Amino acid sequence: MTRSTDCAVSGVLETTSVSGDPAIRLEQAAFGYDGVARVERLNLDIPTGAAVALIGPNGSGKSTLLRGILGLAENTSGRVRVLGETPERARSRVGTLPQADTRDTTLPVSLRQVVTMGLYRSRGALRPIGRAGRAAVNDTLERVGLAAFANRRFGELSGGQQQRGILARALVANPQLLLLDEPFNGLDRENRDTLLELVRELSSEGRTLIVSTHDLEIAQQACTHALLLSSGHEPHQPGHPAAFGLVDEALTLGAVQHAFQDVTVELDQHTVTTTRETEG
Ligand SMILES: Nc1ncnc2c1ncn2[C@@H]1O[C@H](COP(=O)(O)OP(=O)(O)OP(=O)(O)O)[C@@H](O)[C@H]1O
């Protein structure tokens, strides 16, 4: 099936070919809060198995879009289908990694307990985890390289280890779709590379991922597709897509300039200082 994206930029990918059922279908969708759209004009299919870099300046609506896909931000207009269902019904099959600054690291819980929480979404908190659940927690901790830290208090782990622990929580229930909100923020080179490798692996297993990031190099290294959001050009105007498609085709200089406006961005390892454009 072929559908058109609602791209505001000429010269970027206008049409994306998609085969099979998309993991996410957005039809003129908008998401926001208290009846006010914060990101809009979303008209695209995210193919099953794609790893999508979600890129855009601060306030362009990346987190709001991810929350909308989870059914946690209002779908103020249009239609959204996630894994063939409404966001609320699909939620138990979706793993999430929220932004690091939204975490409470003061709670007296171990890393193992944090990862185990990832099983509650699909099973409910009252059902015992059982042997299979404990094995899933151990395997997932092994996978993210944190088996040796299982009983360590979560708040005592380094930022990079916490990030991998939260990823393990997202992975433990074997989700088909993963939404990672700025997972690379604040990571040193080693943790960044480990996480990059994990993202590639998860994608090669056929899972669909959306990874929000400010780093275009990460998008190019780990993702198949890119969705570039532009902030509204007037204050309080909702964000909207500037480009969507295969990563090399969507991340053109024109699309990046349109999305980032006055911000300095990195493109193909060269620093590009973009200038404000008026929308044509
Ligand atoms: N809970 C909320 N209630 C009302 N408005 C909100 C809420 N959360 C975010 N917003 C507003 O929605 C807009 C988009 O915010 P959002 O956090 O989705 O952007 P973002 O692209 O993820 O930004 P950043 O890169 O800074 O995380 C902003 O204007 C923000 O102030």
Residue nearest to atom 25 of ligand 1 (CA): 58
What is the distance between the terminal CA atoms of the chain, rounded to a whole angstrom? 30
Provide the pLDDT for residue 21: 87
| Residue identifier of the C-alpha nearest atom 2 of ligand 1 | 33
pLDDT attached to residue 63: 93
DSSP 238: P
In a domain, 130, yes or no: no
| Residue 236 in domain | yes
Q: What is the CATH number of the domain that holds 238?
A: 3.40.50
Cα-based distances in Å from 262 to 171, 265, 275:
37, 9, 5
Q: Which residues of the chain have pLDDT under 70?
A: 1-19, 101-103, 105, 122-127, 233, 262-280
Q: Does residue 132 form part of some domain?
A: no
For a mutational test of ligand 1's pocket, the pick from 31, 33, 34, 38, i.e. the residue with the most ligand atoms closer than 8 A to its C-beta, is 38
The domain in which residue 268 lies consists of 1-83+212-280
The reported pLDDT for the residue numbered 263 is 63
What is the reported pLDDT for 125?
58
pLDDT of residue 265: 62
Q: Is residue 71 part of a domain?
A: yes
Long-range CB pairs of 193-196, under 8 A, 24+ apart, other chains included: 194/145, 194/160, 194/164, 195/160, 195/163, 195/164, 195/167, 196/221, 196/222
**Does some domain include residue 148?**
no
59 Cα to the center of ligand 1, angstroms: 5
Distance between Cα 159 and ligand 1 center (Å): 23
User: Residue 259: what pLDDT?
Assistant: 83
pLDDT at 2: 33
How many domains does the chain contain in total?
Answer: 1
Query: Is residue 92 situated within a structural domain?
Result: no
Within-domain flag for 157: no
CB hemisphere CA count around 32 (13 angstroms): 20
Residue 190 lies in a domain: no
Question: Is residue 67 in contact with ligand 1, taking CB distance under 6 Å?
Answer: no
Q: Is the CB of 231 under 6 A from ligand 1?
A: no
CA distance 189 to 240: 32
